[in-house]
Amino acid sequence: MIEFSGEFDSDHPPDELWNYFTDPDILAQCAPGCDHIEQVSDSELEATVSVGVGSVKPTFDVDMTIVEADRPNRLVMEAGGDASRNSFEAVAEMDLAENADGGTTANWHAETNVSGLIASLGQRALGSVADRLVNNFFDDLEDLADEGVPAESKVSAKPGATASLEE
């Protein structure tokens, strides 16, 4: 299992930012390598995402489930994806808190199991790339919020869902 975590500061208050994190159209624009996102139900999304390291860039069919959606404080998602000769499962959680400047500090944490060829790249390689991708995602999302692109919260937690990775 690989763990990632980080912190992100936004100029926008949590309640405003929440709409961006829970609008599939916004996510599709910001998620690195995301081709499209389709909303299957209130709490389930399907996406096609192409991520990779250099020439190695498998395209994953990803299923996401919203496990917790405590507006505007906490969002937990479970995701799994398959690509040719690669697969992953992941749990990502994010806590939003208003900071002293009236903006938001978001703390995120993700755990993932990766298998297949991409796993052979090793944790260090994946870690440095993942950091970059996550930061790009937050930067792009902040840009959309700065530009005032409208966002609407369209997801809710799946009743009774819990998230954990199989060891």
Partner 1 sequence: MKPAPFEYHRPTTVGEATSLLADLGHDAELMAGNQSLGIIMANRLATPDHLVDLNRVEELAGVDIREDEVEVGSMTTHRDLELHDELREVLPILPLAAEQIAGPSVRNQGTVGGSIAEADPAGNYPAALVALDADLHVTSGDDGDRTVPAREFFIAYMFTDLAPEELITGVTVSRDPFPAERTGMVFEELKRAAQTFPTVSAGTAVRVDDPAADAPEIEEARVALACVADVPLHVPDAEDAVEGTTLDEDALDAAADAAIEDADPSPEMHADEDWKIELAGEYTRRSLQTAYERASNDDAPDN
Sites of contact with partner 1 (CB under 8 A): 50, 53-57, 84-85, 117, 121-122, 124-125, 128-129, 131-132
Distance of closest approach, residue 133 Cβ to partner 1, in angstroms:
9
Q: What is the CA radius of gyration of the chain?
A: 15
Q: Which is nearer to partner 1, 50 or 115 (CB)?
A: 50
The answer to whether 87 and 116 are in contact (CB under 8 A) is yes
CB of 48 to partner 1, least distance (A): 11
Closest contact distance (angstroms) between CB of 86 and partner 1 is: 10
Of 115 and 162, nearer to partner 1 (C-beta) is: 115
Query: What Å distances lie between residue 166 and 1, 67, 72, 121, 155, CA to CA?
Result: 9, 16, 28, 21, 25
**In terms of CB distance, is 5 or 162 closer to partner 1?**
5
What distance in Å separates the CA atoms of residue 8 and residue 60, rounded to the nearest whole number? 26
Residue 160: which region, alpha, beta or left (left: phi > 0; alpha: psi -120 to 50)? Answer: left
Minimal distance, residue 7 CB to partner 1, in Å? 18
Q: Which is nearer to partner 1, 125 or 149 (CB)?
A: 125
For partner 1, the closer CB: 55 or 164: 55
Give the nearest distance from C-beta 83 to partner 1 in angstroms. Answer: 10
State the Cα–Cα distance between residues 43 and 65, nearest whole angstrom.
6
Alpha-helix runs per DSSP H in the chain: 14-21, 24-30, 122-147
DSSP 8-state secondary structure symbol assigned to residue 148: T
